[in-house]
Amino acid sequence: MSIRNFAVRAIGAGTVAAAAVVGLAGPASAAPAPAPAPILHTFFTGPLLPVLGQNAFCNGVIDTLVETDPARPGLATVVLTSRGMHGVGPEWAANPVCHIKADIAWNLGVWAGQVKTVDLNFGERPGESVRTEINPGPGVAALSIQAAYVNPYFNELRPQWSVPVSAYAIIP
């Protein structure tokens, strides 16, 4: 057997072995994980939601993130993470929790019933987060997140305020 035949057989055996390893490991590692959605923010605050909450003039900033999972098409998860809330006076000293009702609207919003209200109770410690799932459908979705002083259906007044987060996201 010549060196050439030996090299060809060795390369062929190595290729078959590599294909077997990739074939066996491929399906196990191919499960997609939730990842941030491609997003275009259309307001000057970007992904930040500065808020004034309902307890003792509490205030702070909330980071917003939209996650998608290709295994679950048409669904998205909105993650709201506090950077830490602060308040004033004896009310805050007695109860250092900032209560906020955040409204998440997508696509046609109130006109199509595509609104979700999320109760947030964040303290002084940064890093607390709340996750909620929305169903905008596949494709490009318009999103709006805010803590408005009136709810989207105009039947509840809330002692809170925020600058909105407005964006377009691509949902698989």
CA distances to 91, 114, 148, 149, 152 from 155, in Å: 27, 17, 12, 11, 8
- In total, the chain counts a number of residues equal to 172
Residue 54 shares a structural domain with residue 22: no
Tally of domains in the chain: 2
Residue 11 lies in domain: 1-30
Residue 17 shares a structural domain with residue 59: no
pLDDT in tens, 118-129: 999 999 999 999
Residue 106 shares a structural domain with residue 152: yes
pLDDT in tens, 133-146: 999 999 999 999 99
Residue 22 has pLDDT above 70, yes or no: no
Residue 104 shares a structural domain with residue 138: yes
Residue 18 shares a structural domain with residue 100: no
CATH number at residue 157: 2.60.40
Q: Which is nearest to 135 in space by CA: 42, 56, 89, 66? A: 66
